[in-house]
Amino acid sequence: MSNANVLLSMQGIHKAFPGVRALDGVDFSLAAGEIHALVGENGAGKSTLIKVLTGVVRPDAGTITLAGQDVQVHSPEHAQSIGISTVYQEVNLCPNLSIAENILIGREPRRWRRIDGRAMNRRAEQILVGLDVDVDVTQPLGSYPVAIQQMAAIARALEISGARVLILDEPTSSLDAHETEQLFGVMHKLKAAGLAIVFITHFLEQVYAIADRVTVLRNGRLVGTYMPSALPRIELIAKMLGRELTELDDMTKVKLASRHETGETRLVADGLGRVGAIEPFDLELHAGEVVGLAGLLGSGRTEIAGLLFGIDKPDSGSVTVNGVPVRQHSPLGSINRRVALCPEDRKGEGIVDELTVRENIILAVQAGRGWLRRLSPSEQDEIADRYIALLKIATPSADQAVGNLSGGNQQKVILARWLATDPQVLILDEPTRGIDVGAKAEVQRLVLSLAGEGKACVFISSELDEVLRTSDRIVILRDRAKVDELTGDVDERQIMQAIAGSEHGSS
Amino acid sequence: MARASAAPTVRRVTESRLFFPLVVLAVILLFNLVYDAGFFALDTIDGHLYGNVIDILRDGSTVMLLAIGMTLVIATGGVDLSVGAVMAISASVAALLINPDLQSLSNDPNVTATPLPVVLIATLVVATVCGLWNGALVAYGGIQPMVATLILMIAGRGIAQLITNGVRIQIFYEPYAFLGNGWIILPFSLFIVAAVFVVAWLMTRRTALGMFIESVGINSRSSFFSGINERRVKLVAYMFCGFCAGMAGLVASSSIRTSDANNIGLNFELDAILAVVIGGTALGAGGRFSLFASIIGAIVMQAITTSMYAIGVPAHALLAVKGVVVVLVILLLSVQVREFVRRVAAPKAA
């Protein structure tokens, strides 16, 4: 891209939240008439970068230049007024209003100080025809499929300000293949009209299908900006996961230990699946082994964990635990079956922040016993103290509200909650996310020692080296399906190849 | 050194959930004392205690009963607007059971068509079923608590009228009237409050239910992930709230010796909600709760009403003046004021 073409440039953007460096000196540039993909795993900083650009958060340092002029984006309204429009992942329009009303709400054409309905419908139709969308604009938005709603959201974003920059935040996540094609058609049209488009997605094939350039973020830092045509898919994955391929070649191969192959079968999933979450898959877990789940964000890792634990009910296949078929798919049922899950979303699905450390630790045990058979205060103290000591949870006392603890210690509290139920099958979904390096190593060691005690562990992580280091067996997921299962001699390259699939990214 | 050891003690006192509700109550009572030096005087008649303070407790007993149940519902992150209407329903049910013949009311104080225990149990069952309805809408129907309970709040009074065919049934049966009018040294209704309070306290603090309720209120998704049946916990809270409303309906109808579907418990849901809020349980957010603090809150609400009458606020101005006082109380309880008091009372850094 020649410099003359640059419409928007962000230089050295820093943003820290309490305890996290969300953005650490990130540069990003955008040319008129390009589609620029922004990729990275969870926590890479994509959404923070977009929030800076749209004025939702203020950067701590860094400059933003739009069309040659330094700008400070004060608020989302301000961003719109200078031509930066955003379409968010969840369509945030009003399903009960007509498409025309949704597109022109707040800026309805007026006549005699009243809304001119006919002019409004005409105008909306014009905009949509410009996007090659042919629908009845007088019908309520909610009566159309998500793809059309998405188009209406884009039409609205365009109409607002004579947008120059359009940000599409995971617009394809709820679209099917045909609808995605339709959206791409619109994006091509807008690109031809000179709009600069930022396209956030975690579907890599879409990056190759439509993006002119792709910027990779990882852990709040810029990894680089590349031409997709010059970047094989496996290299893109390597960059997202924080590896250089050259580095990979030098790495010693890891022999996945077949330490515990002879362990008893604990859990069998047979054709287990749920529409829209994960394709039917088979999986066996044995006592004393660690099975790693590897795959990119959105590949179905968390969905597998949810099905095995009973968060969601499967609509095909079956689960058998210790030879007994599972009928009650619920967390409570899982506690009774001695299956445990440390969930991925620590704040939303893990801790109960105003309860004390003690209460958080005994919560699952108590739930398993039912409300009538309350643990006596001395039993509660005994359990809490044991796990605070075992996991070295740093807390002033067991009476501290768990919300006051650091992320790593909160993670340990959740781990303690589940270890206290004495599980035979332990599913850990991203147990090391957002905690410091020392704590990560501790968690990994703990997983290995738990497997050594004869527990069957499932270890989910987007850090590939972590999965490699801890697992006996690695299950590969891609696009919400289990695609492979690796044992024996494996290296990171092989795993990335498996994650990338058969195409090598030169498409 | 004395100061250094005193400060943490003061802090502990000011951080107690009961501290601010008690301060508010004390302020209101002191206000009465200034206005009427004999405010705290107690008389003994036939061995029973009478006086302004006893009046406040007796008149406040229905709101106290409602506040006990409401505390659990608010702690789950919900609210129950229908308790006033459920009071009316239970009053109608009880009155109808005592005197089913609407054409000719028996005015014999010793006659009832249904034995008293059956009247009480049947009424409480009906009220609990009302709570079950609310709980089912909230927990299993996924309807917002305010909307879900609004339904019964509106429909409840209509149902109460249908039960008695629109007739206000007078109650002459003396044993029933004892619930709201009897005295055993103290007003009998206070013993009912005490009994319900003890049941609620044992149920929440001597089983794991209290922790489950708090956990669900703070983060229902995390609670679900931890194996708590968060829907059933909510259901139980609403059912118990209905039960308490039924109890309050019995006391209220007994007190005025009639089933008055239009007026029994009218606007009481708001007093109950305010009582719980004054007690420090967070409306909307749920979470940590204290039953005793809610009782104090209920007494505060009644003390406000009684004081208004005592200083001669005319009945038609009562609601408006009460509103102003409640605003002041809530402001007093705000986080900012609390923090300010704590800083002044016990500076952190010596």
Q: What is the pTM of this model?
A: 0.76
Mark whether A142 and A216 lie in a shared domain. Answer: yes
CA separation, residue A144 to residues A32, A96, A102, A134, A152 (Å): 31, 11, 13, 12, 10
Low-confidence winner among A76-80, A250-254, A300-304, B193-197 (lowest mean pLDDT): A250-254
pLDDT of residue A261: 57
Residue A258 pLDDT more than 60? Answer: no
Task: Tell me the percentage of chain B whose pLDDT exceeds 90.
Answer: 64
pLDDT of residue A407: 74
Is there a domain that residue A332 lies in?
A: yes
Residues A399 and A381: their CA atoms lie apart, in Å, by: 10
Is there a domain that residue A373 lies in?
A: yes
Closest CA to A86 of A58, A32, A50: A50
Over range B109-128, report the average pLDDT.
94
Residues B289 and B277: their CA atoms lie apart, in Å, by: 10
φ and ψ of A219, to 5 deg? 50, 40
Contact at CB, B227 and A335, closer than 8 angstroms? yes
Is there a domain that residue A343 lies in?
A: no
Which positions in chain A have a beta carbon within 8 angstroms of at least one beta carbon in chain B?
A: 311, 330-332, 334-335, 341, 343, 348-355, 359, 363-364, 366-375, 417
**Domains in chain B: how many in total?**
1
Of the residues A311, A353, A354, A361, the best mutation for testing chain B's interface (the one with the most B CB atoms within 10 Å of its CB) is A354
Summarize chain B as % helix, strand, coil (round to 5).
70, 5, 25
Mark whether A8 and A92 lie in a shared domain. Answer: yes
| Residue whose tokens read 């529409």 | A275
Contact at CB, B226 and A417, closer than 8 angstroms? yes
pLDDT of residue B288: 93
Residue A249 pLDDT more than 50? Answer: no
Task: Tell me the percentage of chain B whose pLDDT exceeds 70.
Answer: 94
- What confidence category does residue B3 fall into, taking pLDDT thresholds of 50, 70 and 90? very low
Contact at CB, B226 and A343, closer than 8 angstroms? no
Residue A142 pLDDT more than 80? Answer: no
- What confidence category does residue A505 fall into, taking pLDDT thresholds of 50, 70 and 90? very low
- Single residue among A244, A278, A303 that ends a domain in this structure: A244
More confident residue, B224 or A238: B224
Distance from CA of A372 to the nearest CA of B (A): 5
Distance from CA of B213 to the nearest CA of A (A): 10
- Single residue among A422, A449, A474 that ends a domain in this structure: A422
User: Out of A353, A366, A369, whose CB is closest to B219?
Assistant: A353
Contact at CB, A352 and B219, closer than 8 angstroms? yes
Is there a domain that residue A346 lies in?
A: no
B235 to chain A: which residues are within 8 Å by CB?
none
Is there a domain that residue B58 lies in?
A: yes
Distance from CA of B223 to the nearest CA of A (A): 7
Of the residues B15, B222, B234, the best mutation for testing chain A's interface (the one with the most A CB atoms within 10 Å of its CB) is B222
Contact at CB, B211 and A355, closer than 8 angstroms? yes
Exposed/middle/buried for A16, CB within 10 Å: 0-12, 13-18, 19+?
middle
B229 to chain A: which residues are within 8 Å by CB?
330, 332
pLDDT of residue B345: 73
Residues A369 and A371: their CA atoms lie apart, in Å, by: 7
- Average pLDDT of chain A? 84
Residues A258 and A290: their CA atoms lie apart, in Å, by: 10
pLDDT of residue B103: 78
Contact at CB, B228 and A348, closer than 8 angstroms? no
Task: Tell me the percentage of chain A whose pLDDT exceeds 70.
Answer: 90
Q: What's the distance, CA A253 to chain centroid?
A: 29
**CA-angle at B160, arms to B159 and B161, nearest 5°:** 90
Low-confidence winner among A145-149, A305-309, B35-39 (lowest mean pLDDT): A145-149
Of the residues A302, A312, A339, A355, the best mutation for testing chain B's interface (the one with the most B CB atoms within 10 Å of its CB) is A355
pLDDT of residue A292: 92
Residues A293 and A304: their CA atoms lie apart, in Å, by: 9
- What confidence category does residue B321 fall into, taking pLDDT thresholds of 50, 70 and 90? confident
Mark whether A289 and A404 lie in a shared domain. Answer: no
Over range A188-197, report the average pLDDT.
88
- Give the containing element (helix H, strand E) for A167: strand A165-169
Q: Write out the residue range of the structural domain in which residue B176 sits.
A: 45-311
**Domains in chain A: how many in total?**
3
φ and ψ of B25, to 5 deg? -60, -45
User: Out of A351, A367, A374, whose CB is closest to B228?
Assistant: A367
Q: Which residue of B has its CA nearest to A368?
A: B227
Contact at CB, A349 and B207, closer than 8 angstroms? no
- What confidence category does residue A284 fall into, taking pLDDT thresholds of 50, 70 and 90? very high
| Residue whose tokens read 């147990």 | A431
Residue A247 pLDDT more than 60? Answer: no
Mark whether A324 and A373 lie in a shared domain. Answer: no
Residues 6 or more apart in contact with residue B340 via CB below 8 angstroms: none
A311 to chain B: which residues are within 8 Å by CB?
224-225
Residue A341: which region, alpha, beta or left (left: phi > 0; alpha: psi -120 to 50)? beta
Low-confidence winner among A170-179, B95-104, B136-145 (lowest mean pLDDT): A170-179
Count Cβ atoms below 10 Å from residue B75 Cβ, excluding itself. Answer: 28
B286 to chain A: which residues are within 8 Å by CB?
none
Mark whether A313 and A356 lie in a shared domain. Answer: no
User: ipTM beyond 0.85?
Assistant: yes
Residue B115 pLDDT more than 90? Answer: yes
Over range A242-267, report the average pLDDT.
60
More confident residue, B256 or A181: B256
Contact at CB, A369 and B219, closer than 8 angstroms? no
Q: Write out the residue range of the structural domain in which residue A18 sits.
A: 3-244
Mark whether A401 and A427 lie in a shared domain. Answer: no
Residue A25: which region, alpha, beta or left (left: phi > 0; alpha: psi -120 to 50)? left
- What confidence category does residue B348 fall into, taking pLDDT thresholds of 50, 70 and 90? low
Contact at CB, A371 and B224, closer than 8 angstroms? no
Contact yes or no for B82/B130 (Cβ under 8 A): yes
Residue A5 pLDDT more than 90? Answer: no
Burial B268-289 (b: 16+ CB within 10 A, else e): bbebbbbbbbbbbbbeeebbbb
More confident residue, A186 or B231: B231
- What confidence category does residue A4 fall into, taking pLDDT thresholds of 50, 70 and 90? low
Closest CA to A405 of A386, A388, A427, A430: A388
A352 to chain B: which residues are within 8 Å by CB?
214-215, 218-219, 222-223, 226
Contact at CB, A371 and B212, closer than 8 angstroms? yes
Mark whether A398 and A445 lie in a shared domain. Answer: no
Residues B176 and A223: their CA atoms lie apart, in Å, by: 80
Contact at CB, A359 and B211, closer than 8 angstroms? yes
pLDDT of residue A312: 92
Residue B14 pLDDT more than 70? Answer: no
Contact yes or no for A256/A473 (Cβ under 8 A): yes
B288 to chain A: which residues are within 8 Å by CB?
354
Contact at CB, A363 and B218, closer than 8 angstroms? no
Contact at CB, B211 and A332, closer than 8 angstroms? no
Mark whether A334 and A357 lie in a shared domain. Answer: no
CATH number at residue B61: 1.10.3470
Residues B140 and B230: their CA atoms lie apart, in Å, by: 10
Over range B235-251, report the average pLDDT.
98
pLDDT of residue A204: 80
Residue A307 pLDDT more than 50? Answer: yes
Is there a domain that residue A28 lies in?
A: yes
Paired sense of beta strands A456-460 and A425-429, if any: parallel
Mark whether A231 and A268 lie in a shared domain. Answer: no
More confident residue, B13 or A276: A276
A308 to chain B: which residues are within 8 Å by CB?
none
More confident residue, A423 or A432: A423
Residues B335 and B350: their CA atoms lie apart, in Å, by: 23
A334 to chain B: which residues are within 8 Å by CB?
227
pLDDT of residue B202: 96
- What confidence category does residue B8 fall into, taking pLDDT thresholds of 50, 70 and 90? low
Mark whether A181 and A59 lie in a shared domain. Answer: yes
Is there a domain that residue B187 lies in?
A: yes
pLDDT of residue A77: 82
Is there a domain that residue B36 lies in?
A: no
Contact at CB, B218 and A353, closer than 8 angstroms? yes
DSSP string, B267-318: THHHHHHHHHHHTT--TTT-----HHHHHHHHHHHHHHHHHHHHTT--HHHH
User: Out of A349, A372, A373, whose CB is closest to B221?
Assistant: A349
Q: Which residue of A has its CA nearest to B210?
A: A371
pLDDT of residue A340: 96
Over range A413-442, report the average pLDDT.
85
**Highest mean pLDDT (candidates A48-57, A117-126, B135-144, B298-307):** B135-144
User: Residues A90-112: pLDDT tens digits?
Assistant: 667 787 888 888 888 776 777 77
Is there a domain that residue B8 lies in?
A: no
- Single residue among A403, A422, A441 that ends a domain in this structure: A422
Is there a domain that residue A376 lies in?
A: yes
Mark whether A292 and A278 lie in a shared domain. Answer: yes
Q: Is the dihedral of CA A81, A83, A89, A92 positive or negative?
A: positive
- Average pLDDT of chain B? 90
B228 to chain A: which residues are within 8 Å by CB?
332, 363, 367
Contact at CB, B214 and A355, closer than 8 angstroms? yes
Of the residues A330, A363, A413, the best mutation for testing chain B's interface (the one with the most B CB atoms within 10 Å of its CB) is A363
DSSP B206: S
Alpha-carbon Rg for chain B in angstroms: 21
Is there a domain that residue B25 lies in?
A: no
Over range B246-259, report the average pLDDT.
95
Residue A245 pLDDT more than 60? Answer: no
Is there a domain that residue B14 lies in?
A: no
pLDDT of residue B11: 66
Residue B350 pLDDT more than 70? Answer: no
User: Residues A30-88: pLDDT tens digits?
Assistant: 998 899 999 887 667 888 898 899 888 888 889 998 888 888 888 888 888 888 888 87
Contact at CB, A359 and B206, closer than 8 angstroms? no
Residue B23 pLDDT more than 80? Answer: yes
Distance from CA of B227 to the nearest CA of A (A): 4
Q: In the A/B pair of chains, how many CB contacts fall below 8 A?
A: 74
Mark whether A467 and A365 lie in a shared domain. Answer: no
Task: Tell me the percentage of chain A whose pLDDT exceeds 90.
Answer: 32
Distance from CA of B205 to the nearest CA of A (A): 9
Residues 6 or more apart in contact with residue B65 via CB below 8 angstroms: B192, B193, B196, B244, B245, B247, B248, B251
The number of C-alpha atoms within 13 Å of A252 and in the hemisphere containing its C-beta is 4
Is there a domain that residue A214 lies in?
A: yes
User: Out of B206, B222, B229, whose CB is closest to A352?
Assistant: B222
Residue A251 pLDDT more than 60? Answer: no
pLDDT of residue B4: 45
Is there a domain that residue B88 lies in?
A: yes
Residues B311 and B318: their CA atoms lie apart, in Å, by: 11
Alpha-carbon Rg for chain A in angstroms: 25
Contact at CB, B227 and A371, closer than 8 angstroms? no
Of the residues A352, A380, A417, A418, the best mutation for testing chain B's interface (the one with the most B CB atoms within 10 Å of its CB) is A352
**Highest mean pLDDT (candidates A292-306, A379-393, B19-33):** A379-393
- What confidence category does residue A244 fall into, taking pLDDT thresholds of 50, 70 and 90? low
Distance from CA of A340 to the nearest CA of B (A): 9
Is there a domain that residue B347 lies in?
A: no
Distance from CA of A391 to the nearest CA of B (A): 19
Contact at CB, A367 and B227, closer than 8 angstroms? yes
Q: Which residue of A has its CA nearest to B214?
A: A355
User: Out of A332, A348, A371, whose CB is closest to B221?
Assistant: A348
Count Cβ atoms below 10 Å from residue A328 Cβ, excluding itself. Answer: 11
- Give the containing element (helix H, strand E) for A426: strand A425-429
B214 to chain A: which residues are within 8 Å by CB?
352, 354-355
- What confidence category does residue A382 fall into, taking pLDDT thresholds of 50, 70 and 90? very high
Residue B148 pLDDT more than 70? Answer: yes
Residue B105 pLDDT more than 70? Answer: yes
pLDDT of residue A18: 66
pLDDT of residue B121: 97
pLDDT of residue A295: 85
CA separation, residue B327 to residues A291, B278, B307 (Å): 59, 11, 16
pLDDT of residue A318: 94
Closest CA to B291 of B214, B179, B184, B227: B214
pLDDT of residue A177: 72
Residue A422 pLDDT more than 90? Answer: yes
Residue B198 pLDDT more than 80? Answer: yes
More confident residue, B183 or A173: B183
More confident residue, B31 or B299: B299
Count Cβ atoms below 10 Å from residue B95 Cβ, excluding itself. Answer: 31
CATH number at residue A228: 3.40.50.300
